[in-house]
Chains A and B, each alone.
Chain A
């Protein structure tokens, strides 16, 4: 409990919950970002596109294969989010740089890392919301078929991890420019490269090929919809996330040191 009592003329401030300031700040920023997403037309359009695409894919796959299997659908996550992520993340920091609210945020008693994490978690909440819109797929499969639970859960976990990695990359790109289009372009190209790494690994030889295989997200994602969560893959995604968040924090902090 931290109480900072000032002179009688000032109002006493205190943190009523023993929650560290770090968490409170991150939650406050995340909350604001989520609110901003839900009042943003772009976010709703992206959600609508996503639901439409996957709805169609789901219907086509299930009626085509007659199998209660989510794997073909979830494998398409990379492709769809290749295009959707830039649209979701482009304004995270670029917009604040453009409108000047970044100047306001950087002059608050707020750590850069709290700002970055808050925005990241805000975007994840919106991703969860979008994914939640697809939960009726497994429900339908359960109702009308006999799907394996393991692969479905694994698949969604994989999708979530991949989504988080994509968002982290998008957040980092958004910090690089005050121009949303540039941020979106950087995000798209980066994700495209990671996605193509699998194909590239077949063309390249030797260590280059191995590196390409290592960073290929399609390869990393392969096992999860099968129900296999390999720690190597999880660590890969977590590393990407942490690296991007770290770099983003440095980029923002660099304003202060230049």
Chain B
């Protein structure tokens, strides 16, 4: 549904987007993850038809976003980061206007407006001036505008920013429900959100693709070793030595957890499960085994790792 092919965008000498390529099949929800200034918004703007790429191509629903811009735009619903609105209008008038622009007749407009008002939970404020609405409501009016004509592709730039936790949950649910029917690209800073709503994630840093994969795969790939956390009451040095003696153990990190206990993060070779060996070692030596768990790399760590490393070649799958 969406193809991006060696897309590059220069602002002067700076490459905001630097040779990005990816594809989004129909019905998928793809997350754009990246630090500020990574090039997420620029990429979205290019896809939405707001600005041209410096080089490279992109197509939406089979239409080139630059050469067949008007056709491509017919298939796109876009919510810009700034959530621009006509503050002197009411949500109903605002949506009615965009309905007309999208070529919907009066009856269809009414039906669609009621539908998106219900989905985005703005039914209560339909006749209040947008200028008088809270940020959360405004955001949802913007989302309603993007959803109004049921476009094939939705491009949402930070759709949950500024919302309170309850609204965030509701909005994520709305987005999740779009899967299959619509193709969605959404950008966010909120990492848990990505795991919750997106099927695949593309991590962008400094204009380049740092990684593109499902959240689970990314977490798995980043784990160069299997890690086990064990909370032990006993003499730290001795415990460390005993654990180090286990052949599969690669490295041990330690931090104190009370006057006489420590938590050891044990890295061992991938695929080996040393939990039972650790448990028996500690118990046999008479130390107190308080907690034993397999630790996994969080998406946060994946993100930080990928983003603070030097921009290397893309790790696409």
Contact = CB atoms under 8 A, between A and B. Distances in A.
A13 B103 contact: yes
The bracket for how many chain A residues form the interface is: 35 or more
Nearest to B48: A107
Contact of A13 (B76, B78, B105): B105
A103 B46 CA distance: 11
Given A25-B101, A103-B80, A111-B70, A16 B93 contact: no
Contacts, number: 95
A103 B49 CA distance: 9
Contact of B51 (A12, A24, A108, A258): A258
Interface in A51-78: none
Interface string B53-73: 000000000000010011001
Contacts of A80: none
Contact of A24 (B45, B66, B103): B103
Contact of B105 (A14, A110, A258): A14
Interface stretch (B84-92, B165-173, B292-300): B84-92
A73 to B, nearest CB: 33
B285 interface: no
A109 B74 contact: yes
A99 interface: yes
Contacts of A21: 103
B84 A101 contact: yes
B287 interface: no
A28 B181 CA distance: 29
Categorize the interface residue count of chain B. 35 or more
B100 A28 contact: yes
Contacts of B80: 100, 103-104, 107
Interface in A11-45: 11-16, 21, 24-25, 28-29, 31-32, 35-36, 39-40
B86 A109 contact: no
Interface in B179-206: 181
Contacts of A15: 103, 105
A35 to B, nearest CB: 7
Interface in A93-119: 99-104, 106-111
Q: Max chain B CB contacts within 10 Å: which of A32, A110, A256?
A: A32
A101 B181 CA distance: 27
Nearest to B149: A13
Interface of A: 2, 6, 9-16, 21, 24-25, 28-29, 31-32, 35-36, 39-40, 99-104, 106-111, 255-258
Given A14-B105, A103-B84, A107-B78, 7 more contacts: A13-B103, A32-B86, A108-B101, A108-B102, A111-B70, A256-B52, A258-B51
